[in-house]
Amino acid sequence: MTTRRSSASPFRLPQWAIQLARSQHDPFLTKESRMRLVIALASTNVTKGTGGPFGAAIFECRTGQLIGIGVNVIESTNCSHAHAEMVAIAAAQQAVGNFDLGAVGMPKHELVTSCEPCAMCYGAIPWSGVRRILCGARASDAEAIGFDEGAKPKHWVAELNKRGISVVRDLCRTQAVSVLQRYKAGGGRIYGTRRTR
């Protein structure tokens, strides 16, 4: 994981997550290897009881260099927007010293996430500067265990494509879904379910 300026994040990650990321051998040359790291983050977050069943990371698209990681830390931070994607984006922006991961002169970055983004994370993606998103499980998989993913445009992938952000779905989906199901089966807390009826 790079530390160009500061690897500090406005969100406090569990120590095991930082150690897991540091133990990895850069670069991650394939999309699948990047997704496997993210699923490992989500799975370990469940096993360690440190948060929800979601993991994410930011990589340089071309080199596969890991820039920042995130896991869901809503409960430990008492912060409703501490979703894995938001934590990973914040960590990466801190690491590169720029709020725009798509700034002129910067390499292209991608967000790799164990589950498709919810409405909030979807909204943050265009402003983050990432140029590609790799998704494991689908939003419907998270909803199947009780999570509320919020209101996104029906054609959200096409909307991101219009902004020059490509989306790859269903990458290692089976493995990503198994983390969600294990979380539910283990009695994991399902939060953010205040749907308006």
- Residues annotated as catalytic are 85
120 vs 117: CA distance, rounded Å: 8
Full strand arrangement of the beta sheet holding 66-71: 66-71, 55-60, 109-115, 132-137, 166-168
Token duo for residue 73: 């830390």
DSSP 158: H
The C-alpha atoms of residue 87 and residue 136 are separated, in whole angstroms, by 17
Neighbouring residues of 102: CB distance < 8 A, sequence distance ≥ 6: 108, 109, 128, 129, 130, 131
Residue with tokens 């979380």: 183
The H-or-E segment that residue 99 falls in is: none
Q: φ and ψ at 68, to 5 degrees? A: -160, 150
Question: DSSP code of 63?
Answer: T
Which residue type does 124 have? A
